[in-house]
Structure 1
Amino acid sequence: MAIKHVRSSEAGMTVEEFKDWLMRFDDDCDGRISKDELRKAIRSIGVRFSWWKSRRGIRLSDSNNDGLLDDGEIDNLVSFMQKDLGLKITAKN
């Protein structure tokens, strides 16, 4: 499923599909998402002010305040992406 069409899709995507999509932006392949990597992901779906929204997404999702989102913290990011960006992400198909 193409992420660009998620905003208008009724079905949306699963959390696992979202994580797989997000990890495509993990430029340094460390398994964590930085603010710059999140900015690229947000920009790729056509959201305006990606620099501000990526900073906010990291701030709200980063539980240990290291500036990076690991697998456990990406669950927090799912909530941000749903509420603030309007993405439809479901627990299961």
Structure 2
Amino acid sequence: MAIKGSSHPKTTVRSSGEEITVEEFRKWLKSFDTNKDGRISQDELRRAIRSIHVRFSGWKSKRGIRYADADADGFIEDDEIENLLDFAQKSLGLKIVTY
């Protein structure tokens, strides 16, 4: 079953235990790029995490940025989303597959 982020009804991410593809994850995450700068900020990541009803979204978003942000600029760019995939699987319980 997929859950819809309350502020982003056009995007979905599946609940813990169900699989999503890498492309579905990318599309879902990019829907939270509210200022359309092509990067995900800590606040945007917090909103994404909160949309799937994960507790401690502020704390987890800070950890997610630190985990995935290879160039330490405080944002997740397209080339760093792969790093965030690993974090999402370990810390958010998402199962992301490459079909």
| TM-score > 0.5 by shorter chain | yes
Q: Is the 8 A contact 2:17 2:93 kept in 1?
A: no
Look up the equivalent residue of 1:57 and give its one-letter code: G
Deviation, 1:8, is 3.7
User: Which residue matches 1:6?
Assistant: 15
User: Which residue matches 1:51?
Assistant: 58
1:30-74 CA distance string (max 9 Å, x none): 111000000000000000000000000000100000000001101
Structure 1 stretches of 5 or more lacking a match?
A: none
Q: 2:67 aligned with 1:60, yes or no?
A: yes
Q: 2:40 aligned with 1:19, yes or no?
A: no
Look up the equivalent residue of 1:30 and give its one-letter code: D
1:59-91 CA distance string (max 9 Å, x none): 010000000000110100000000111101111
**TM-score between both structures, scaled by the size of structure 2:** 0.86
Q: 2:38 aligned with 1:31, yes or no?
A: yes
Structure 2 stretches of 5 or more lacking a match?
A: 3-11
- Structure with more relative contact order (C-alpha pairs < 8 Å, separation 6 or more): 1
> What is the CA RMSD across the aligned residues, in angstroms?
1.0
Query: Following TM superposition, where does structure 1 have runs of at least 4 consecutive aligned residues deviating by more than 3 angstroms?
Result: none
**TM-score between both structures, scaled by the size of structure 1:** 0.91
Look up the equivalent residue of 1:7 and give its one-letter code: S
How far apart, CA to CA, are the structure 1 residues paired with 2:78 and 2:59? 22
- Secondary structure at the residue paired with 1:32? coil
Higher helix residue share: 1
Matched residues, number: 89
Higher strand residue share: 2
